[in-house]
Amino acid sequence: MQQFYHSAAWRRLSRRFLENNPVCVKCYEDGVIRKADVVDHVQEVKDNWSRRLDESNLQALCNVHHNAKTRNERKKREQKP
Ligand SMILES: [Zn+2]
């Protein structure tokens, strides 16, 4: 998993994705234009490995929104029996 984030394929894709999507989509929904910091997988890599390089599964997020999402996902996971 961690290895994937260090792979050349992911690094190339995420860099290009941020160039094409420089604004955080969640801030944008709130009417705020903020620079995106990271490329996030809508469906997490560990949940759907096959979509790890699928651009339709990616979204540009700022650090604040990315951290919030990560926290939520963890919570959801912990709530599962
Ligand atoms: Zn944001």
Higher local confidence (pLDDT), 65 or 77: 65
What is the 30 CA–ligand 1 centroid distance (Å)?
9
pLDDT confidence of residue 2: 80
What is the 18 CA–ligand 1 centroid distance (Å)?
13
pLDDT confidence of residue 52: 97
pLDDT confidence of residue 1: 72
Q: For 32-73, what is each residue's pLDDT tens digit? A: 999 999 999 999 999 999 999 999 999 999 999 999 999 998
Q: How far is CA 11 from CA 34, 49, 52, 67, in A?
A: 22, 16, 12, 20
What is the 8 CA–ligand 1 centroid distance (Å)?
26
What is the 33 CA–ligand 1 centroid distance (Å)?
8
Domain ranges for the chain: 2-79
pLDDT confidence of residue 31: 98
80 pLDDT more than 90: no
